[in-house]
Amino acid sequence: MIALSVVILIALVSIDQVIKLVVVNNIVVGGTAFSLSLGDFDVFSITHVRNKGAAWSILEGRTVLLIAIAVVAVLIVLYLIFKKKIRSFIGVISLTAMISGGIGNMLDRIRLNEVVDYIKVDFIDFPVFNFADICVVVGAICFCTWLIVDDIKARKQKGNGLK
């Protein structure tokens, strides 16, 4: 399962970095290359922005701290995977998705001192995000769901089913 996790990690980080490279090379900062609308209703656009912080620009300008947090998180997850503390396929893949996103954004911070974002949801006021962010969020949702389901199964096996 470790080999599969490494392959998925490399694939997700590569996808993230290639998309960001295409955005950087083809869309000026602040520019939009694509917009999807349904009639007069704007859905989303590909808009190149830069973020010197984390989600919602928190910790803006604290690049070293954000890199350190990402490194610690990646090391913890790698420890959990390599020491087989998480043995579930879903658990390992979820963690792999989360660290892939963390690594993708960390590479931007190291290389550019900021993160390249480009997916803009136009119908609500929401921060512009990127593929790496999607990996983190989807991985976290899947991991939390797996933890809950695993806990319910364990309780049922012990005869302490939820009521």
Active site residues: 117, 133
Compute how many other C-beta atoms are within 10 angstroms of the C-beta atom of residue 78: 16
Furthest-apart CA atoms within the chain: distance in Å:
60
Half-sphere exposure of 82 (CA within 13 A, CB side): 7
| Contact indicator for 71, 77 with CB cutoff of 8 Å | no
Half-sphere exposure of 88 (CA within 13 A, CB side): 13
| DSSP-derived 3-state class of residue 156 | helix
| Contact indicator for 114, 82 with CB cutoff of 8 Å | no
Q: Are strands 32-38 and 115-121 parallel, antiparallel or unpaired?
A: unpaired
| DSSP-derived 3-state class of residue 83 | coil
| DSSP-derived 3-state class of residue 72 | helix
